[in-house]
Structure 1
Amino acid sequence: MSLRIVVAVKYVPDATGDRHFADDLTTDRDAVDGLLSELDEYAVEQALQIAEAADDAEITVLTVGPADAKDALRKALSMGADKAVHVEDDALHGTDVMGTSLVLAKAIEHAGFDLVVTGMASTDGTAGVVPALLAERLGIPQVTLLSEVAVSGGKVTGRRDGDAASEQVEASLPALVSVTDQSGEARYPSFKGIMAAKKKPVEALDLSDLGIDAADVGLAGAWTAVQEAAARPARSAGTIVKDEGEGGKQLAAFLAEHKFI
């Protein structure tokens, strides 16, 4: 029986762009280019490696987002995933982690799965709680923050590295894993992979397809909200020390004043 792997990915604003809030205090995603979250590329890579080691496996990449989020799916498909699911609905605007985990869980159940793979966090919200919320909604064990992962004998195993020690952890399938940015560099899509991705199926779903009430998602259904936001103050000019024989003393005094030494 084929190992069914679902990788949850996110389309995020480019971190190098000028990111800011919109008038409703949600992230303005139209003002900056978007891309597949870098941390999710590690999840796609680990899913590909698991599939390559299995006798038979199929990888579905799943995202929840606006029309442009298809770009994130195409990137994952060009890396080697087999098919994609895109949940798009205007009512999703402003959805927080609670609503996102609900939609992802319903979409994953719709796709069918043995193993769910995610990144450790998104590069925009950086909350890092969706994997745990998702596992709870799906009613499956979670093995999170892995720097090494493998599947064999109906179990997923991996290594979790901490500040003082590393743990070997495992769970019986079906299960969810999240992987860190130490799990291995993601591969670059080949030209062949990019061309093949254009022909791979992308299933489009909305809230009605998943049986989700619009009141449970979006800004109205969010458990959290931004109350106020202000632009970061411009950086002030630094102190310039002219070395006329006393530069070293002035530098030492400056460092001592600011408790650097």
Structure 2
Amino acid sequence: HVSASWSVDETLSASARFTPPEQGFYDLTVQWSIISESLARSIHAKGDHGYGSLIRGGQGSRISFHHNLWANHVARMPRPGNYDGPDKDPVGAFIEFRSNVFYNWGGGHSGYDADKAAMVAYNFVDNAYVMGPDSQQAVAFKESNSLARAWFAGNSMNGVVPADIAPVAAEPAASAYERVLAEAGASVRRDAVDARVVAGVRNRTGRIINTEQDVGGWPVLPPGVAAPDADGDGMPDAWEAKQGLNPKKADGAALARDGSGWTNLELWLADAAKVRG
């Protein structure tokens, strides 16, 4: 539930060089987030550089992106890959994109892998691709990597799913489209930016921008009122009492008693994300 916008390069990326291997990351998920409106002609030294996501792993790393919305980027929606060739990394990365929405890529394709020869495998399953005003061709992905392995199934382009899809036990693209637009991002109380981005996807009017001023600038966020939290552990007193916890004992970092393996604070955050205003 991250909302990321207005970058001068990629808006939300996850990449590492794994040199040495222990400096890389090996298990990562990004989910239910909005990745929107990178700034195309802004202040980047290379010129037009409004990109979505650079996602490069290696050495057996596993990366999952699901139920996210990418909207209004020049390119890299997404760009997966691996920095190292097979001589340095014979295993590569395993990356999955499942039940995401990709809207309004600038140019001829939404995502691509421009590596020449690097070990990487990825799944694109049940994603919804929607062309916008800046999209030139209905192409989901362009592959240039001779060693890449890819699986595509259940994806839709402008609402149409190929007839020969393989059956998968996952959320269909049409359902993912509705749920991502309804629930992705900081969606408990959406601000004007996310609301406008989502509306621009639904009515296909959202475009690539060069500066946040193109879309009205920074929104005014009304101040909120924090719920009482006597012990300052990040969990409201009322919620702690409902869970049988002591509102006067700071135990947010303690493991929850439900056996989930989550901390009390993580359990509260998960509950809070379900309450939509």
TM-score (norm 2): 0.22
Structure with larger Rg = 1
Structure ranking higher in helix proportion:
1
Q: Which has the higher contact order (CA 8 A, sep 6+)?
A: 1
